[in-house]
Amino acid sequence: MTTRILTGITTTGTPHLGNYAGAIRPAIVASRNADVDSFYFLADYHALIKCDDPLRIQRSRLEIAATWLACGLDVNKATFYRQSDIPEIPELCWLLTCVAGKGLLNRAHAYKASVDRNIELGEDPDAGVTMGLFSYPVLMAADILMFNAHKVPVGRDQIQHVEMARDIAQRFNHLFGQGKELFTLPEAVIEEDVATLPGLDGRKMSKSYDNTIPLFSGAKQMSDAVARIVTDSKLPGEAKDPDSSHLFTLYQAFATPEQQAQFRAELIDGMGWGDAKQRLNDLLNAELGEPREKYQALIERPADLEDILLDGAAKARKIATPFLIQLREAVGLRSFRSVTTSTESSKKKASKRARFVSFRDDDGSFRFRLLDASGEQLLLSKSFTDGKSAGMVNKHLQSGEPLDVREQGNGFAVWLDGESVATSPEFADAGAMKAAVERLREALAPEQA
Ligand code: TRP
């Protein structure tokens, strides 16, 4: 069976060497695998959550698209597209929004971090928080579930989002799948052996630390950045410790095992930092020189890039369009031509969702409970001396005949033939009790509408 791998790249920046080694290169390698069907896309709707500068959004989309192609992504094998070219994604996002618990989203790290910061500053907890930020994980779930991805390679900070996508998928399957799995449950994959590159100062390479080495901005820009890599002050001829040098870590990410061993030996042997930087620069150019030229050529032909991405979108929509039709059907957004006027199946479903549980009490008598869809107890029957009479009452309650419900305090009893046959628990207040009566009536409603 082929594995569907899917990942998105938020289009707010220009790819640097860390993005290349940590995400782009491994993703392209994975996409070449014969048992893999890969979906890589520009998460440009997600970019709008973080950035309100149209020029930056546009520039970043172009640069990221060109980067992936220049690095060798084969668009005949992989499906490569812009999120914003797939209208099915925001549509699915709405269907998922309607089943995603607000409480679940309250726990999302990105949202929580904003709230915590606001509280610390004495601001309103939601100050500056947009609905885009709050719903970010639902849109990401739509990206993933739209194509029924099995595996989602992401950074550690995104694991929670993939788990939320799983959660939302499960909920949707349960509500609308009628026993079938509408959505595949996705799994996050964290590539353990993929390089997390250190930046110029040794901290993780990241735009927010301003310590990046540019990927394709030019050979000169790259060698200038390499020259700025921080080292210790050992002179040429003095032994260097490769394991405490992030220049060595950077070298390792691009070198064969033999090259690594050689470089290590030479550092210990006293190679000067200037020479070491030259060596790293040569190594980077060997891998990236050709892609850099391809990149420049692509960037100069934006109309061609547009065509490539539109082709990718068409390929993706061959899957998304029919699948969304199926999902709309599942939730009840159906053509009137095909509609059946009976609500029988949904009634059956409602009564199936509440359930009776029979049991023997400690004293040997027979009783049953009625649990609502969430498993909360609505009724506990009186004790019956034999199973048959318990069963008859149980059956009578499900017969669809009008229920005789009598409220008492914050609870209620159900009466049958002049006696109370089952009682509810005490609810917190009259409102909770009324709501429970409502759920009881719904669960036991007659089949004909
Ligand atoms: N949120 C991801 C990030 O910032 C990008 C992304 C959007 C994504 N949709 C996705 C990643 C779907 C994987 C799957 O890194």
User: 195 CB less than 6 Å from ligand 1?
Assistant: no
pLDDT (tens digit per residue) in 325-341: 999 999 999 988 876 65
Q: Which residue has the tokens 């610390």?
A: 120
114 ligand 1 Cβ < 6 A: no
Among 193-197, 221-225, 262-266, where is mean pLDDT lowest?
A: 193-197
| pLDDT value, residue 331 | 97
Average pLDDT on 421-432 reads: 92
Share of the chain above pLDDT 70, in %: 96
Is the fold of 3-100+135-196+302-331 the same as that of 216-295?
no
Residue 346 — very low, low, confident or very high, per pLDDT cuts 50/70/90? low
d(CA 105, CA 97) in angstroms, rounded, equals 10
For residue 149, give every residue at least 6 positions away whose Cβ sits within 8 Å of its Cβ, in sequence order, or none: 4, 5, 6, 39, 184, 186
- Read out DSSP for 369-418? EEE-TTS-EEEEE--BSSHHHHHHHHHHHTTTPPPEEEEETTEEEEEETT
- Residue 273's pLDDT band, with cuts at 50, 70 and 90, is very high
Distance from residue 43's CA to the centre of ligand 1 (Å): 7
Assess whether the C-beta atom of 63 lies below 6 angstroms from ligand 1.
no
Q: Whose CA is nearest to atom 14 of ligand 1?
A: 7
Residue 5 in contact with ligand 1 by CB distance below 6 A: no
Enter the pTM of the model.
0.75
The finding on whether 144 has its CB within 6 A of some atom of ligand 1 is yes
What distance in Å separates the CA atoms of residue 82 and residue 313, rounded to the nearest whole number?
A: 7
Distance 411 CA to ligand 1 centre (A): 48
How much is the pLDDT for 337? 83
Going by C-alpha positions, the residue among 227, 231, 115, 105 that lies closest to residue 168 is 105
Convert the pLDDT of each residue in 226-241 to its tens digit: 999 999 999 999 999 9
Q: What pLDDT score does 349 carry?
A: 52
H-only helix segments in 177-301: 219-227, 246-252, 257-268, 273-299
CATH topology of domain 346-444: PH-domain like (2.30.29)
Q: What is the mean pLDDT of the chain?
A: 92
Domain ranges of the chain: 3-100+135-196+302-331, 216-295, 346-444
Cα dist. 61→50, 57, 110, 344, 429 in Å? 14, 6, 23, 49, 55
Is 351 marked as binding a ligand? no
Instruction: Provide mean pLDDT across the span 28-33.
Output: 96
The closest alpha carbon to 350, from 437, 440, 443, belongs to 443
> What is residue 402's predicted lDDT score, i.e. its pLDDT?
86
Q: Is 152 in the pocket of ligand 1 (CB under 6 A)?
A: yes
pLDDT band at 250 (very low <50, low <70, confident <90, very high): very high
Question: What is the side-by-side strand order in the sheet with 366-371?
Answer: 355-360, 366-371, 377-381, 419-423, 411-416, 404-408
Vertex 181 angle, CA 75 and 142, to 5°: 50
Residue located nearest, by CA, to atom 8 of ligand 1: 8
Distance 151 CA to ligand 1 centre (A): 12
Interval between CA 6 and ligand 1 midpoint (Å)? 9
Strand 411-416 and strand 404-408: the pairing is antiparallel
pLDDT in tens, 195-214: 789 999 999 999 889 999 99
Closest CA to 196 of 26, 14, 11: 26
In sequence order, the β-bridge partners of residue 199 are none
d(CA 153, CA 29): 13
Q: Kindly report the protein residue whose alpha carbon is nearest to atom 7 of ligand 1.
A: 8
DSSP category for residue 296: H
Helix H or strand E segment including 153: strand 151-153
Q: 10 a known binding residue?
A: yes
CATH class, range 3-100+135-196+302-331: alpha beta
Distance CA 2, CA 289 (A): 33
Q: Rounded to whole angstroms, how far apart are CA atoms 78 and 288?
A: 21
More confidently predicted of 192 and 106: 106
pLDDT digits (tens, 9 = 90+) for 38-48: 999 999 999 99
Q: How far is the CA of 204 from the centre of ligand 1 (A)?
A: 20
Cα torsion at 256, 259, 264, 269 (round to 10°)? 180
Query: Could you give the CA distance from residue 226 to residue 205 in angstroms, rounded to a whole number?
Result: 13
Look at residue 382 and tell me whether its pLDDT is greater than 90.
yes
What pLDDT does 339 receive?
62
Ligand 1 centroid vs 9 CA: distance in angstroms?
A: 6
Q: What is the pLDDT of residues 305-323, one digit of tens each?
A: 999 999 999 999 999 999 9
User: Tell me: domain 216-295, CATH 1.10.240.10, correct?
Assistant: yes
Residue-wise pLDDT for 400-418, tens only, equals 888 999 998 899 999 998 9
**Ligand 1 neighbourhood includes 222 CB (under 6 angstroms):** no
Q: Consult the annotation and say whether 143 binds a ligand.
A: yes
Distance CA 25, CA 34 (A): 17
What is the structure's pLDDT at 351?
47
